[in-house]
Every structure is written in C-alpha cells, then in structure tokens.
Amino acid sequence: MPRFLHTADWQMGRTYSRFDTEDSAALVEARYEAIERLAALATEHQCDAVLVAGDVFDAQTVADRTIRRVFNATKGFSGPWIMLPGNHDAALAESVWTRAKRLDAVPDNVHLLLEPGVIRLPEQGMAVLAAPLTQRHTYGDLTAPFNQMETPPGLLRIGLAHGSVQGVLPEDIDSTNPIAPDRAATAKLDYLALGDWHGTKQINERTWYSGTPEPERFRNNEAGYVLIVDIDTPGATPQISRHKTARYQWHQWQESFSVPSDVDDLLNRINQLPEASVLDIKLSGTLTLAGDQKLTEALAIAEARFRSVTCDRSKLQLEPTEDDIAELQADGYLGEVVQQLRETQQVSEKDDEAATARDALAILASLLKSKHAGAAQ
C-alpha cells in the first residue's frame, strides 16, 4: 500500500521584520526544524515519498546558505523528495532552483519538477503528475494537461500543483493561479496534492491542501500540519491523517474594554496559552488607571514567558475613576494636568495626539504611585 507525506509552503528564507532580532531569529529557525520534524515523521511512518507542493523558498533571492540548509534539513528521510516550484519560487530560466543545482546542494534523492510532465516512481507504486509554475502568476489552469497525461497501469496517479482552487478559497490568498475544483475527477487522479493555501484544507476526498508546516502569520486557518496519505490501490479512496509539526502558535486578538472585569478576562486567556506562542493584541475601549497598571504588569510578565507579545493600545482610552484620582493624590497643579490629559485623549481629532495624552497619563500615574509607595516605606 503506497504511503506518502504531503507538505507545502515552507517559505524558507522568509524574514520577520516586525519582530525584534531575537524573536525573528527564533521564528526563522523554527522553519528549518519543521522540515526536520516532517522528515522524521516520514521515516517513522515508513512513507514511500515526500511530496512538496510548491513554495519551498519564499523568494528567488534567498541566500546560498538558506538553500544549503534547506536540503540539509531533509537528511532525516532517505526516500524520494518530490519538490515543485510555486509562485514564490517559480521555475524561471534563472531561479533559486538553478542556483541550487549550481551549488551542487540538491541530494540525489531529491527530484526537482521544473517542467510539466510525469515522474514515475515504480518502487514507490506511484506516478506524479507535475504542474510547476514557470512564472509567478498565470491565468490558465496548469493542471488541465493532467487529463491527457498517461501513466503506467498499476501505479497511483498523484497530481502535484500550486494555486487556487476556483470558487472555494478566499480571494486574498497568495496566488491567482487557478485550479479546477474537479481536476482530480477529470484527470482520474488518485490524489491531488496542493499548495498555496497555508492551512490544512480538504477540497474533496481526493484533493487537499496540506498547509505550511510552521505558521508564519496571524490566520486561524489550521496551519502547522502535514498530511500522510495512504491509498491501497489505484482507484481506492485515500486515507488521510493529519500530523502536527508546528512549534509556535500564532494568536491575534482584538479586545474592547468597557468594564474592569474585561481586563481580568483577557489576562486569564493569556495565562492559558502555551509558552510557544506569538501573540498580537489590539485594544480599544476604556480602561481605568488601576486596570492599565494591572495590564502593563501582566504583559511584561507575558513578554518574558512567550516567544513574542505585541500590544497596540492606540484605540484605548484611559478613564481614571474617582478612586484612581484619590490614590494618585494629584491635587493642585498635578490634578489640573491629569484632567487636561483626560480631556485631550477624549476630544482630540488626531490619533497621535490622543495616544500621546493617554501614554502621558499612564506614565504620570505610574510615577505618582511609585513616589507614594517610596514615601510609605
């Protein structure tokens, strides 16, 4: 019974400029580790081959070291690796693939499908029909020739392509390259392994997106997995099992505060996350000074615990309560300053001016509390 591992969208060479240097380096390294994990999975589950459905590399201009490291990471599986160019690493006349060959970086068991056609793997019991992208965007269905491609009897017909299944995926995916939703049926494929959608997604019983093995963006689309596919004989229904490969979980939350308990609810949710988390929070609404201090302290702890924590407070207003004001002991001139900052963030039509007033109010409150705490000791 042929068994293979389906993966895609490694995006090797991707950078993370929005993160600081330490976090960016860790996220980059996690992508290499993901390749090593899927190689170990393929060996553990005795797969006959690994199929990579495009976008091995994030760009044509990745460093030579990146190219070498990618192929080095495949060493954990000695069977055939079948790699297809996608829209990020299209098989141009001069491409990342031609550089890889010049570098002599491609192991003997790695097959680069740089041209349309069929690669026969009789020992593995399959024939792979390839639809590589030879330019970043196409407007015709490159899998259409699958209907006429002949394969030896007795071998599974496995399609390998990278693009957008028409009428199924959202419009904001990476590539415009169209694929007919019934291609597996019209081409009599036993399985169609797709890349480009970065989450695991079933189109029909014979057509799947594996998604990227390591998430790289804030989308709730089941990223971070690979698929292991078993097909007993040509024509049999594929049996699909999903295997987690992700190291980091990416979470993006939008929270609106209106009552003090909203802060506690958010902090409870944060505390339930695993340490291998990348968290981005966007806040709006109103918050008391006491709530702001609690939030700031909790986020400082979270920043040391998780891989990355970012928090956008640009839409958040501070609304000191009477208890807040009393605790600050901000009478006289300081009281007037506090009141002015409260009003500025409420009435200013300029976002940056309101944000400056809010931040100044938070800093003033922190300084006054520190001063009173020191005096009490």
Residues 6+ apart with CB under 8 A from 123: 48
**Contact in structure between 216 and 202 (CB atoms under 8 Å):** no
Q: In the listed set 244, 262, 293, which residue is the last one of a domain according to the structure?
A: 244
Q: Are residues 180 and 324 in the same domain?
A: no
**Contact in structure between 50 and 82 (CB atoms under 8 Å):** yes
Beta strands per DSSP E along the chain: 3-7, 49-52, 81-83, 110-112, 117-121, 126-131, 156-162, 164-165, 178-179, 191-195, 201-204, 207-209, 225-230, 239-244, 249-257, 277-287, 308-318
CA distances from 231 to 3, 124, 238 (A): 7, 12, 5
Q: In the listed set 221, 244, 267, which residue is the last one of a domain according to the structure?
A: 244
Q: Which helix (H) or strand (E) holds 364?
A: helix 351-376
Q: Are residues 237 and 254 in the same domain?
A: no
Question: How far, in Å, CA of 145 to CA of 43, rounded?
Answer: 33
Rg (CA), the chain: 27
Q: Are residues 240 and 277 in the same domain?
A: no
Q: In the listed set 244, 271, 294, which residue is the last one of a domain according to the structure?
A: 244
Q: Are residues 51 and 104 in the same domain?
A: yes
Range of the domain at 203: 3-244
The pTM score is 0.86
pLDDT of residue 269: 96
Q: Are residues 210 and 258 in the same domain?
A: no
pLDDT of residue 325: 63
pLDDT of residue 220: 79
Four-point Cα dihedral 64, 66, 72, 77, nearest 10: -130
Q: Tell me 12's DSSP state.
A: B
Strand ranges of the sheet holding 249-257, from the earlier edge strand across to the other edge: 249-257, 277-287, 308-318
Residues 6+ apart with CB under 8 A from 50: 4, 5, 7, 38, 39, 42, 74, 77, 79, 80, 81, 82
Q: Are residues 178 and 219 in the same domain?
A: yes
Q: Are residues 110 and 231 in the same domain?
A: yes
Q: Are residues 63 and 179 in the same domain?
A: yes
pLDDT averaged per 10 residues in sequence order, the chain, 377 residues: 96 94 96 98 98 97 98 98 97 97 97 97 97 91 96 97 86 70 97 96 97 92 95 97 96 92 95 96 89 91 96 83 62 65 66 71 62 48
Number of structural domains found in the chain: 2
Q: Are residues 228 and 269 in the same domain?
A: no
Q: Are residues 197 and 280 in the same domain?
A: no
